[in-house]
Homo-oligomer: A and B are copies of this chain.
């Protein structure tokens, strides 16, 4: 029997507990939707403000005086340590979709064979994959997540997947699938939108080829924050960005009529970087300095496990737990299935528990280890019981 007292003890022993004070988040709110839009960090407001001031003072010279021109790479450096990537392998740029377009297109250029994904992939990823498969006249195979590993056979050229399923919270075994892809000569492309910031990812250790991810979920960069793109150092020299823009040029300020791609991952940049949004993400990422991602992952598992256990204990048969019960097979969200889930999510919102509905029947609860407590989990399950 899990008690509130037990949850309080867990919070008392939580090394990440003090970090919530760094967020702008009303004490009346239990925010379980950081997998959709993370809340602002306290430092973001001042950073954006000072950037607007710098813009007014430095005007065009801000690009150099304030090193706006270096910002995509500098934000990339911060992200590299979060996702276990090599130095010089990540830039901040564009949206997740545009970045996925770039790396899947680049992957098609480097391979032959089918594109493979699973039906749990985020819709925008499925759209990009379908479009590029047609463009490259390759079959796109969409299998069930459970069949995925077995489907990586000879004849597959590109395996493109979401690391954590946005609907179910199920995670793929990134090291295993990447290794299997390589065994058949395929490239592995990962969308980290739902895993970056809640678990160690180890792109370098796992020899991942390409990755993309979004800045506004567990990275708290703000609504529609710029995204990121990873290119393995192994592949950088051979990677062709299909959208050849001046910021991906080796020397943009030469204004040369001929495109010469920049060295390394910088070639994945395209247009002029969006500075106001990018400084917000940069400021939000500062909170990760010195944070041990193993500790983050341990708390994430603690929160999601506690939630599932409390759903079992308190809610009986009211919901089906869609998310895998084994922690190794999930990210940092738990999805509950129930006809009428939308009304449950709305009712919870009125009670100060903010979660998300995903059609047709999923209530989705995201647990951001930096600002969600164990007592929050207890309290949210208590309120779910009240509204169901």
> What residues of chain A have their CB less than 8 Å away from a CB belonging to chain B?
24-26, 29, 31, 33, 36-37, 39-40, 44-45, 48-49, 52, 55-57, 59-63, 68, 94-98, 101, 119, 122-124, 126-128, 130-131, 135, 142, 167, 214, 216, 222-227, 242-247, 249, 252-257, 259, 270-278, 280, 349, 354, 356, 358-359
Contacts and interface: CB of A to CB of B under 8 A. Distances in A.
Given A57-B26, A59-B37, A97-B243, A359 B254 contact: yes
B271 A280 contact: no
Contact of A224 (B131, B135, B275): B275
A48 B222 CA distance: 12
A60 B243 CA distance: 31
Contacts of A126: 257, 259
Contacts of A122: 246
A117 to B, nearest CB: 10
A28 B37 CA distance: 42
Give the 8 A-B residue pairs with the shortest CB-CB distance, closest first: A95-B271, A97-B245, A24-B56, A223-B275, A127-B244, A97-B271, A124-B246, A127-B259
8 contacts: A37-B63, A45-B52, A68-B224, A97-B271, A126-B259, A130-B259, A224-B276, A255-B359
Contacts of A44: 52
For A59, A273, A349, A356, the residue with the greatest tally of chain B CB atoms inside 10 Å of its CB is A59
Contact of A62 (B119, B223, B257): B223
Contacts of A257: 119, 123, 126, 142
A167 B26 CA distance: 51
A48 B62 CA distance: 19
A356 to B, nearest CB: 7
A246 B127 contact: yes
Contact of A98 (B29, B98, B135): B98
A182 to B, nearest CB: 27
A61 B33 CA distance: 10
For A49, A224, A226, A257, the residue with the greatest tally of chain B CB atoms inside 10 Å of its CB is A224
Nearest to A366: B60
Nearest to A357: B253
